[in-house]
Amino acid sequence: MKKILTAGLIFFLLSSGLIIRADEGMWIPMLIEKYNIKLMQEKGFKLSAEDIYSVNKACMKDAVLSFGGGCTGELLSDKGLLITNHHCGFSQIQQHSSLEHDYITNGFWAMSEKEELTNPGLTVTFLKRMEDVTNNVLEGVKPEMSAAEKDKKIRENITIIQQKAIEGTGYSASVRPFFMGNQYFLFVNETFRDVRFVGAPPSAIGNFGGDTDNWTWPRHTGDFSLFRVYADKNNQPADYSPDNVPYKPLYFFPISLKGVKEGDFTMVFGYPGTTNEYVPSYYIDMIKNYVNPKTIELRTEKLNVIDKAMAADPLVRIKYSSKKVNISNSWKKWIGEIQGLEKMNTISKKQEYESRLTEWINSDPERKSKYGNLLPQYKNLYSELKDFTLVNNYTNDAFISNGAEAVGFARNLIAVATRFEKGVTESEIAGIKKSLVNTATTFYKNYDYETDRKLFVSVMKLYGDNLGPQWQAPVYLSLKKSCAGDFEALSNKIYPKSVFTDQARFISFVNNLTARSVSKLTNDPVYSLAKSITDFTAEKIRDQLQNLNLRIQTLNTDYMKAQMEFESSRLFYPDANSTLRVAYGTIQGYYSRDAVYFRHYSTLNGIMEKDNPEVYDYDVPDKLKQLFLSKDFGPYTQDGDIPVCFIANNHTTGGNSGSPVINAEGQLIGINFDRAWEGVASDMAFNPAQSRNISLDIRYALFIIDKFAGAGYLLNEMQIIK
């Protein structure tokens, strides 16, 4: 009976909601008809909810895809042509680049389908349908269960639901929690595995402004790349084959050349990653004041090392471009997030809200019995969690995620050593060798010895400075003692000899792989450090971290329920969780600070104003300058100039990169790619006055494809509306 009441409670609270915060929210497509369509139409939307999401007819959802698992893309033609952000396709652009074919600097355009480049491992996923499965997920979950018991039962139920949903199909399924575990939805998906690179502008267009302009407005970045989805001759997903043909989608977006003006309706349809809008003040305090400041310091040092290496060597620039993007994007976001949370007094506002909530809880004995201990328990758990979270995140950033790279790579041998300890056959050894060679080929293609050595020196020092000895791996402490903290000297001693810092040495080691050679890995300090870090985090950090997060997750479910009862007239939207969502709003400029107002769009003229041949990220290509001077703009103009980007107040986050921005007629007008600096804290606190999503104007993308790249044949595939 309890599970039915829980689902009913959610339905009641949603359906009775009278208050929707202006233009805030990431809404569930399946529920647009019930809760959002009237407001969307009042704002100017001219279509129906079924035009957005339907299982009975082709609709917009059939043209929106999850690109590579971390971004969004959308289909532009009936031949599987898709567009996403340049930064979303950047790892593919980088993988195809070399000194001879520098597609990062010079761009790439396939002038026919035969010239399109394959991308092993790249996938795109479409949502086929979704379904509320709350009752099924919570079947057998009882109030008296511990957090671990509840989690186990829910996981068991989810496995059964997923398996049943895809029986007899080639689809995949996932069940995701909403409203902090008060509601669950099933998603049935179709994934395509043959996705080919069609084109991208040079970095001086696709990443114009680099880190300097990132997360800021005005932007002048042509942040797009083109790919094509392929299927077998039956239009079904298939591994790469030269016999595959362009995918014929159920739906693709028509493209508008009509442009945008202040106040126009906009809708963003994509896969936002993670938001935390309903967390208690203790979470904000942990992230803002404890975890992120130290991680920002670590990433700043890593970026300093990489920037210097990239500036000194064109090959290093190619090798480390993607790594730099991965490091810098979150680094700058975290800086802006801290400033935004501070400016909005978010912690104080959360505390004031918690005070009112506590008063409401304590005013009723039954509510006090259900919810009275929530905030005190949060306080105790977060006081423990913050140390484990910092250590886990910091260790990962220092040694695994683009930190000391050789140390991170050496972790691949830990599992191999364990297998040899248990005994392996000759055929198993052959398989291990092949796997290691393949892994090494990928790793060393983008590895530079001297850059990694300098990264090692930097992260070893900061790891020791910012984490107490009780949080440091034993081999690290031993190495630090042996070199008296002189990590420069240590690196010069161990890097020239390590198996992991040179491709030839590593391949030689793999070719002569035996139980004896594996046992000698403990003599390699790089391997010993990698194993010590791995063992230490597994034994001292991960279990405790998982346990604390599980206990907090249980509190979150009740805390969310309490908030929804407390604000019974408010229509709540669920936090983002990498599932398909709709955000809607209007084109709007904003006041950045006193007397400084930013209009809603930028132009090609602004690119020319920023032109600086001495700076890689601002060196405007000569051909673009020529097009500007000759005014050879084609049909892509607005007020005599080329529009480049625009802003609106749609609620977006990471994962929305590449999402289609759609006008009132359901036509594509832009590609979402960023947020403005003043509102970057919107993952935890949406600021209506300044939270703005930044989008590439589709007219600039078409201008680049047509006039700059000379790939106008691609436009012939599209449905372009003037």
Provide the annotated active-site residues: 87, 223, 657
How many angstroms separate the Cα of 190 from the Cα of each of 44, 62, 63, 230?
Answer: 32, 10, 12, 13
On whether the CB atoms of residues 699 and 711 are closer than 8 A, the answer is no
Instruction: Report the alpha-carbon distance of residue 534 to residue 85 in Å, rounded.
Output: 35
Instruction: Report the alpha-carbon distance of residue 687 to residue 201 in Å, rounded.
Output: 33
Tokens representing residue 215 in the block: 């997360």
**In angstroms, what is the C-alpha Rg of the chain?**
26
DSSP-derived secondary structure letter, 101: S
Beta-carbon neighbour count of residue 385 at 10 Å? 23
**3-state percent breakdown (helix, strand, coil) of the chain, nearest 5:** 50, 15, 35
Instruction: Report the alpha-carbon distance of residue 475 to residue 469 in Å, rounded.
Output: 12
Distant-in-sequence, close-in-space partners of 338: CB < 8 Å, separation ≥ 6: 288, 292, 293, 296
Distant-in-sequence, close-in-space partners of 45: CB < 8 Å, separation ≥ 6: 37, 265, 267, 584, 664
Instruction: Report the alpha-carbon distance of residue 273 to residue 271 in Å, rounded.
Output: 6
Amino acid letter, 458: S
In 3D, which of 76, 45, 54, 79 has the Cα closest to residue 63? 76
Residue keyed to tokens 């030269």: 242
Amino acid letter, 688: P
Phi and psi torsions of 122, nearest 5°? -80, 130
What is the greatest pairwise CA distance in the chain? 76
The 3-state DSSP class for residue 122 equals: coil
Task: For Cα atoms 352, 353, 359, give the angle at the middle one, nearest 5 degrees.
Answer: 95
* Buried/exposed code over 658-668 (b: 16+ C-beta within 10 A; e: otherwise): bbbbbbbebbb
Instruction: Report the alpha-carbon distance of residue 486 to residue 144 in Å, rounded.
Output: 55
Tokens representing residue 667 in the block: 């036509």
Tokens representing residue 680 in the block: 């970057």
The 3-state DSSP class for residue 469 equals: helix
Question: Strand ranges (DSSP E) for 370-502?
Answer: none
Beta-sheet pairing, 81-84 with 660-662: unpaired
Residue keyed to tokens 């002048």: 220
In 3D, which of 130, 251, 210, 180 has the Cα closest to residue 550? 180
> What is the helix (H) or strand (E) element at residue 694, kind and residue range?
strand 693-697
Distant-in-sequence, close-in-space partners of 450: CB < 8 Å, separation ≥ 6: 309
Distant-in-sequence, close-in-space partners of 623: CB < 8 Å, separation ≥ 6: 708
The 3-state DSSP class for residue 575 equals: coil
Beta-sheet pairing, 693-697 with 668-675: antiparallel
Instruction: Report the alpha-carbon distance of residue 198 to residue 192 in Å, rounded.
Output: 16
The 3-state DSSP class for residue 277 equals: coil
Tokens representing residue 131 in the block: 């379904």
